[in-house]
Structure 1
Amino acid sequence: MPLRPETARQVDALVADAQSAGHVPSLIIGVVRDGALAHLAAAGTQPLPDADLQYRIGSITKTMTAVLVMQERDAGRLALDDPLRRYLPEAAAAGPVTLRQLLGHAGGLQREPDGPWWERSEGVDLAALLAGFSVTKVAHPPHRVWHYSNLAYGLLGGALERVTGTPWAQLTQERILDPLGLHRTTYAATEPFARGYVLHPWHDTLREEPRTDSRAMAPAGQIWSTVTDLARWAAFLADPDPAVLNPTTVDEMCAPVILSDLDAWRGGYGLGIQLTRDGDRVHVGHGGSMPGYVATLAVHRPSRTGVVGFANSYGFRTGGIGPLGHQILTHVLDVEPVPTRPWQPAEAPPPADLAPLTGRWWWMGTSLDVSWDRATGELVGILRGDRVSRYAPEGPDRWRGVSGVENGEVLAVLRDEAGRPAALDVATFVFTRDPDSEP
């Protein structure tokens, strides 16, 4: 669904202002809604940006590396709480640091690998990355603080290669890019692509930056993509394709592993996913930068709305592409609420064995209203009028919470001597039809 004309004009103005004030050669932002690119805003002429023009996505690559790790976890070939040294014995000096901690930047490893600045230098292979790995690479004890680490993602890529016997680039191509149709997302730049620049601080001239192959550090920031393809990746994070990764696993990735902002609790990190709180909303995604390029990906999952974008200058004179992306996402969500789905009457009442479970139940004067969702086959329980939980059938007279405050808890149907439902036992809280009943 395209944006309303006035919203589109406002987004265009924000992008034009950011390009002008930031002295950005080329800037492009895409708004994603319900799995599709709903609006494209672009500014700058070096080069003229369009939806098929490649830019480097930088650390947004980490979200793909994390999905590969989670695929292996779901397949039972690794566990998130396994120590890294199980897969990379050469990194034994990292001690007990786990894959989960590395994914969430909670492992305490130093930010960069040793040697020349890896983002602007030709990369080394995994053996060279691991050579000389020592306790000096550990900046903090595991899970003591949030400490961003590109090195951690180079090592995660190495662990994936050891587990699968397949290079990281091939895994990414076969398991993510090909299944999702991201045909303009590539390991190396493929024409047409935007050249990346550093802007001279005093006379606004441009210096083109090298486009290096980061090799063993590729899982931390190598990939190139377009707005069209990155919009598809944003749509995947909002509404995952089960053929690539189980949606419940993506939910798990978007839950906090650690807070990155202990003062205001506005930021955190999940399993490869940056979490940014904006008021009552949480945006998931990632930022990215490589010499000459910056990128943003921010998604509000409940509304399936996101923003993706690129610029081909290493930094803005004012602000940055990350704050710009979050500002645009918040604005779109504020002025264009998700359309309300029309109510449709049920075609038939619930099955005879479920109908007696519906209605109002009581515990200590507290109401629980139970209904049946024909579309999912789940029971829906609303506690005190606003706390919603959903329950999926697990066996005779047994339901398991799958969302809400009772997620994971058991709802058991208790029957009287005649076999009629007499009470609902929700995690030991027994609800009856009598509002005056006692537990």
Structure 2
Amino acid sequence: MSTDQEELLAGTRRALLHRIAVAQTEERAPSLVATVVRGGEAVWTGARTSVEGHAPDEDVQYRIGSITKTFTAVLVLQLRDEGVIDLGDPLEKYLPGTGAGEATLAELLSHAGGLAAETPGPWWERTPGSLRPDLADVLGERPLVHPVGRRFHYSNPGYALLGALVEKLRGATWEEVLRRDVLEPLGLRRTGVRPKTPHAVGWAVHPWADVMLREPAEDLGRMAPAGQLWSTTGDLARFAAFLAHGNAHVLNIESLREMRRPAAPAEATDVASGYAYGLGLELRHRGGRALVGHTGSLPGFLACLAIGVEDDVAAVVLANCTSGPMLFPVAADLIRIVAEAEPLIPAPWRPLREFDSAVLELVGQWYWGTQGFALRLSADGPLSLEPLSGTGRRARFRSNGDGTWTGLEGYYAGELLKPVRRPDGSVSHLDLGSFVFSRQPYEDGASVPGGVDPEGWRGIG
């Protein structure tokens, strides 16, 4: 089945359906449902099922596992944006006595806090949360298994701590805060901590026989902020649109961009696979395309939300089996199919409405030593520095309002760009974090560190 398919070409729709059909059939999923988002709107939903009854649609709930962590991260970023916390603060400042208080809030968000991957005791995903009523039951006697801040080590208990932080600072349960501050403002009416009809049943599919076993659906208790939520592809499509474009009532786009930047020390294996972790979001590369989002799993369920930010296409894929289809490749392929078959139409070029003539004096070609760069002023606001060769350091710069600019990304993030003027007011050179950019390579008369050989340029004679 599919909905809103008139918004995509027939060939695109068939390719999308074919991809999820292959995944559901070959990987033996009882059901699989997917929704594609383009330009912030759901444009296609498709489903396949082998279980009696109608195929699931965008309104049927599945457990989404660790995609819950992204919701929890949004709650923490809201506290930061309101000035209640600083992400550089240690957890001990707000939740003393946990045994993991040395880790900062940013390190917990990015799984760099050194915490164990799982809770002590029985498998928390398949046993009642009542077995872990306190944070001590979640952390155990040895919460840290690595030095704090030194490496990425995925930690479910770390997000239980962040949920407890939200509860303490908001004076309400994590569930109440989530509903009030995220779910209701975004209109996610089919997302919650407990299932509501219609919802899928979680199954384990036997690895060597085409038979199934029903999985228990436990309330995770203290571990809820790490993986409790039930949701639908329709609600997660709206959540994906929010993560891509922001919402002034929930979280602004700059904070969401911060969530999408790598924030944890990468392991060599992760670098090789193109995987990194931001603040509650996974960052991956597939087929030359950068994707952000999160995967999730709980016994009986698999989930994936992926966003191709540059293409403005997202995909949500849900299945009701403990193992089977790898949903990230499926979601990535759905994004690729739409992006390649129906590429994003760029907005029309428009000139600036107004500009500072002093800035216009700075644009054009500059040289750092012998390497050429172009400084450009574009209608989207920031100055941009780009290597003429296509390779090299590049960055955008935000105006400070005093004739200087601050780097926003890459090597020059946070560095100051300022024009240095001669006594007559003309620009001598640009100073970028002590690097001198001159109009000509090692320009005679410019303030080049080390000076310029008075004999000038020469050949071999």
User: Residue by residue, what CA displacement relative to the aligned partner does 1:266-285 show, whole Å, maximum 9, x if unpaired?
Assistant: 22222221222225333211
Q: Which residue of 1 aligns with 2:359?
A: 354
1:82 and 2:89 aligned: yes
Q: Which residue of 2 aligns with 1:44?
A: 49
Question: Could you tell me how far 1:340 is from its partner in structure 2?
Answer: 3.4
In structure 2, what residue type is equivalent to 1:323?
P
1:416 and 2:422 aligned: yes
Q: Which residue of 2 aligns with 1:302?
A: 310
Q: Which residue of 2 aligns with 1:199?
A: 205
Question: Could you tell me how far 1:42 is from its partner in structure 2?
Answer: 1.2
* C-alpha separation in 2, matches of 1:28 and 1:132: 33
Whether contact under 8 Å (1:28, 1:43) holds in the other structure is: yes
Q: Secondary structure at the match of 2:443?
A: coil
Q: Which residue of 2 aligns with 1:278?
A: 286
**TM-score using structure 1 length:** 0.88
Q: Which residue of 1 aligns with 2:384?
A: 380
Whether contact under 8 Å (2:95, 2:101) holds in the other structure is: no
In structure 2, what residue type is equivalent to 1:381?
L
Q: Secondary structure at the match of 1:302?
A: coil
Question: Could you tell me how far 1:325 is from its partner in structure 2?
Answer: 2.0
Residue 10 of structure 2: which of 2, 5, 11 is its match?
A: 5
In structure 2, what residue type is equivalent to 1:288?
G
Question: Could you tell me how far 1:412 is from its partner in structure 2?
Answer: 1.5
* C-alpha separation in 2, matches of 1:128 and 1:396: 52
Q: Which residue of 2 aligns with 1:160?
A: 166
Question: Could you tell me how far 1:365 is from its partner in structure 2?
Answer: 4.3
* C-alpha separation in 1, matches of 2:438 and 2:205: 70
> Greater CA deviation, 43-52 or 141-150?
141-150
Whether contact under 8 Å (1:90, 1:133) holds in the other structure is: no
Change (3 A) 1:267 1:393: closer
Residue 141 of structure 2: which of 128, 135, 138 is its match?
A: 135
Change (3 A) 1:424 1:192: same
Q: Which residue of 1 aligns with 2:38?
A: 33
Question: Could you tell me how far 1:336 is from its partner in structure 2?
Answer: 4.2
* C-alpha separation in 1, matches of 2:112 and 2:360: 48
> Greater CA deviation, 423-432 or 126-135?
126-135
* C-alpha separation in 2, matches of 1:69 and 1:355: 41
Q: Which residue of 2 aligns with 1:246?
A: 252
* C-alpha separation in 1, matches of 2:214 and 2:265: 37
RMSD across aligned C-alpha pairs, in angstroms?
Answer: 2.8
Whether contact under 8 Å (2:138, 2:222) holds in the other structure is: no
User: Residue by residue, what CA displacement relative to the aligned partner does 1:107-144 show, whole Å, maximum 9, x if unpaired?
Assistant: 33233323433223331397534259543343333345
> Greater CA deviation, 223-232 or 420-429?
420-429
* C-alpha separation in 2, matches of 1:249 and 1:125: 36
Question: Could you tell me how far 1:165 is from its partner in structure 2?
Answer: 1.8
Q: Secondary structure at the match of 1:109?
A: coil
> Greater CA deviation, 25-34 or 388-397?
388-397
In structure 1, what residue type is equivalent to 2:103?
V
* C-alpha separation in 1, matches of 2:18 and 2:239: 25
* C-alpha separation in 2, matches of 1:163 and 1:125: 25
* C-alpha separation in 2, matches of 1:56 and 1:132: 21
Give the aligned length: 434
In structure 1, what residue type is equivalent to 2:37?
V
Whether contact under 8 Å (2:304, 2:328) holds in the other structure is: yes
Residue 429 of structure 1: which of 413, 432, 435 is its match?
A: 435
Question: Could you tell me how far 1:249 is from its partner in structure 2?
Answer: 2.3
Whether contact under 8 Å (2:31, 2:320) holds in the other structure is: yes
> Greater CA deviation, 120-129 or 158-167?
120-129
User: Residue by residue, what CA displacement relative to the aligned partner does 1:415-438 show, whole Å, maximum 9, x if unpaired?
Assistant: 333434443333333334455614
Identical residues among aligned pairs (%):
39
> Greater CA deviation, 215-224 or 29-38?
29-38
Change (3 A) 1:104 1:431: closer
* C-alpha separation in 2, matches of 1:313 and 1:24: 6
1:68 and 2:72 aligned: no
Question: Could you tell me how far 1:211 is from its partner in structure 2?
Answer: 2.8
> Greater CA deviation, 307-316 or 276-285?
276-285
**TM-score using structure 2 length:** 0.84
